[in-house]
C-alpha cells in the first residue's frame, strides 16, 4: 500500500511538472505584466537570448530588417536553382518504363520542393514569389512528366499524385485570388497555358480561374 502511495504521488508530481512545462504566457497575465515591467536592458537581453534559440526567426529578422528587394530576388533565384537541381536528381527515377514507381517518385520530389518554398515563405512572407515558385514547380512537373498525367491513368500512386497536385493548384488559386487585377493580368498567358494542359488530365476540375 505504501509503495502504491508513492507510485501514485510520483505520477501526480510528474503530471504537475508536465503542466508547468506546458505553461503558456497568455494563461498567466501576472507573468506577462511582470515581464513588461522589467528594466529595458534586462528585457533586451532576454529577448535576444530567446531569438537566438530560433534559427528561422533569426533569418526572418535578418531579411526583414537588413535585406532589400535585390536580396529577395537573389533568394528567389537560388530557390529556382534548387528546384531545377532537385528535378535533375530525380529524373533517372521518373520515366515511362515504370509508371507506378514514377508517380510515387514525382510525388516525393514535389513534397521536397514544397518544403523548400515553405521555408522561403516563413522567412520572407512574400506572396508574389511564393505564387511564382509554386506555379513554376507545377509547370515543370507537367512539362517534364506530362505522360504521368494522362487522363486514363489509374492506380493508387497516381491517385495520390493527382490529389496532391489538386491541393497545390488550390493553394496557388487562393494566392492568385488576392492579387490586384493588374498583377493577375501579367500572369494571364501562363495561367491559360496551365489550364489548357489541365483540361486534358484527371485534374481538369482544378483549373485556375
Q: pLDDT tens for residues 131-151?
A: 999 999 999 999 999 999 998
Number of domains forming the structure of the chain: 1
Q: Is position 62 within any domain?
A: no
Q: Is the alpha carbon torsion for 103, 104, 109, 111 positive or negative?
A: positive
Check residue 37 and give its pLDDT.
94
**Is 83:116 a contact under the CB 8 Å cutoff?**
yes
H or E segment to which residue 98 belongs: none
Residue 99 neighbours by CB distance under 10 Å? 17
Query: In degrees rounded to 5, what are phi and psi of residue 146?
Result: -60, -30
Residue 103 structural domain: 68-209
Q: How many CA atoms lie within 13 A of 159 on its CB side?
A: 3
Within a domain: 27:
no
Output the pTM of the full model. 0.84
The answer to whether residue 57 is domain-embedded is no
Q: Evaluate whether residue 29 is within a structural domain.
A: no
Summarised one tens digit per residue, pLDDT across range 194-203 is 999 999 999 9
Cα–Cα distance measured from residue 128 to residue 69, given in angstroms and rounded to the nearest whole number: 12
Residue 155 domain-assigned (yes or no): yes
Amino acid at each position: 500500500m505504501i509503495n502504491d502511495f508513492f507510485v501514485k504521488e510520483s505520477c501526480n508530481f510528474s503530471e504537475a511538472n508536465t503542466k508547468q512545462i506546458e505553461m503558456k504566457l497568455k494563461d498567466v497575465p501576472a507573468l506577462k505584466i511582470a515581464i513588461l515591467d522589467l528594466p529595458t536592458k534586462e528585457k533586451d537581453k532576454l529577448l535576444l537570448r530567446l531569438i537566438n534559440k530560433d534559427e528561422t526567426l533569426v533569418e526572418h529578422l535578418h531579411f526583414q530588417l537588413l535585406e532589400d528587394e535585390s536580396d529577395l530576388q537573389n533568394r528567389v533565384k537560388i530557390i529556382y536553382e534548387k528546384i531545377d537541381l532537385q528535378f535533375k536528381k530525380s529524373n533517372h527515377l521518373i520515366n515511362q518504363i515504370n509508371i507506378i514507381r514514377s508517380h510515387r517518385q514525382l510525388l516525393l520530389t514535389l513534397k521536397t520542393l514544397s518544403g523548400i518554398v515553405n521555408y522561403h515563405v516563413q522567412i520572407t512572407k512574400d506572396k508574389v514569389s511564393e505564387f511564382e515558385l509554386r506555379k513554376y514547380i507545377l509547370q515543370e512537373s507537367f512539362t517534364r512528366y506530362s505522360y504521368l498525367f494522362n487522363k486514363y491513368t489509374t492506380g493508387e500512386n497516381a491517385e495520390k499524385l493527382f490529389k496532391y497536385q489538386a491541393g497545390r493548384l488550390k493553394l496557388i488559386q487562393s494566392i492568385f485570388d488576392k492579387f490586384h487585377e493588374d498583377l493577375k493580368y501579367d500572369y494571364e498567358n501562363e495561367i491559360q497555358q496551365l489550364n489548357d494542359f489541365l483540361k486534358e488530365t484527371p485534374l481538369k476540375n482544378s483549373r485556375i480561374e
